[in-house]
Amino acid sequence: MDNIKLLEQLFSFKNGLELSISIISIVLGAYLHSLPKRTNASILTAGFFYLLGVHFLILILHNIFQLATFNYSIFFLGSYGPIVYLITSSILEGEKTIKKRLITTLAITFAFLIFYTLLQWRYRGMLPHIFILGFVAFSFFLFRKKGVGSINSYTLNWLKQFLLIFGLINATYIGVYFAAYSNIELYLSTKIPFTVLFLIFLINNAWFFARKPQFLVSNKQSKLQKYPVLAQTLASKISELMQEKHLFLEPDFNLKKLADSLGQNERLVSEVINEKFQMNFYQFVNDFRLKHAIEMMEKDEQRNLLIKEIMYASGFNNKVSFINAFKHKYNMTPTAYRKSLEI
């Protein structure tokens, strides 16, 4: 009786995990589908997550209501591999190659489905996962064949982890499949970790999309990534200019003035600051201004200056902006910081 209750609890837990996978997958698909400028890569990736979400939803309904024994899973499992391969191809080879790859991929998939349907073998249920692993392998082969070209590093990192973890999931499931033929306890003991791995896969993808939402829409390398020496040289010049000429002390200092001082265009300078200093222009300038304000507070001869005077002397022209920026960086107000120096 205790074993039956434990099994019921494990099944409920497994269903809960699968429901989470379904919801997250559909949300990811909807998010990618909502992007204002869609590419083949983003459309295919959205389709992949939609398919995954519907697959797990049907799986849950099947487990709960014991639906008809029609092998619906082969439709989904036969689709994942080709879609993953087409995503890889559209990113590495470009949008125009998708039609040529699509015809070949559909032909291979159709042949596999016929073979699977006609085959009479006890363990044929693991074949779709081997089929998926084959397409994952072909996807990695494209990396070697085509190289990374002008694709930006963020997109490549996402694609590699996407292929690696999805391949690992399907390799793991082959073990889960064999466990199902042993006993139900062993099956559940392997099925739940497998489901958790799927959940980690989705959370990891969500993290990539949250950090840089548009990376599948625009995955080409920027000028800075193509010419790293130029980026580093320009970053050094920016730092030198800010530290030696104290341009940040001018209240009306802006991106155009900095770009003019460097003899570069505003967009390039902004990209350098974003990539090399990991902040936008205003955060970058405020960082220098706040350090200058701290230096003024710590000098004995300037201890009598009002906070407002230090604010203006550091390049700020708005008290609220100054206090908010100070609190964000130092977790206290300028007044509290000054008082801490007196202790």
Residue pLDDT, tens place only, 65-88: 765 545 667 888 889 999 999 998
Helix, coil or strand: residue 318? coil
DSSP labels, 21-86: HHHHHHHHHHHHHT-SS--HHHHHHHHHHHHHHHHHHHHHHHHHH------THHHHHHHHHHHHHH
Q: In this structure, what token pair is assigned to residue 17? A: 């995990």
The arithmetic mean of pLDDT across residues 238-247, rounded, is 89
- Looking at residue 1, its pLDDT comes to 47
| CATH, domain range 2-211 | 1.20.1070
- Looking at residue 89, its pLDDT comes to 87
Q: Tell me whether domains 2-211 and 223-342 share a fold.
A: no
**What's the CA dihedral at 283, 287, 293, 299 to 10 degrees?**
180
pLDDT score of 172 more than 60: yes
Q: In angstroms, what CA-CA distances link 27 with 49, 55, 139, 292?
A: 8, 14, 25, 45
pLDDT score of 11 more than 80: no
**Structural domain spans, the chain:** 2-211, 223-342
Spell out the residues 6+ positions from residue 94 whose beta carbon is closer than 8 angstroms to its own: none
Q: Does the predicted TM-score (pTM) go above 0.75?
A: no
Helix, coil or strand: residue 151? strand
Positive/negative CA dihedral, 171, 173, 179, 181: negative
- On whether the CB atoms of residues 51 and 83 are closer than 8 A, the answer is yes
Q: What are phi and psi of 149, to 5 degrees?
A: 55, -130
Residue pLDDT, tens place only, 256-278: 999 888 888 888 888 888 778 87
Residue 210's pLDDT band, with cuts at 50, 70 and 90, is: confident
- Looking at residue 204, its pLDDT comes to 92
Residue pLDDT, tens place only, 113-151: 888 888 877 777 788 888 999 999 999 888 776 555 556
Which one has a higher pLDDT value, 13 or 298?
298
Task: State which fold the 223-342 domain adopts.
Answer: Arc Repressor Mutant, subunit A (1.10.10)
Residue pLDDT, tens place only, 144-158: 765 555 567 788 889
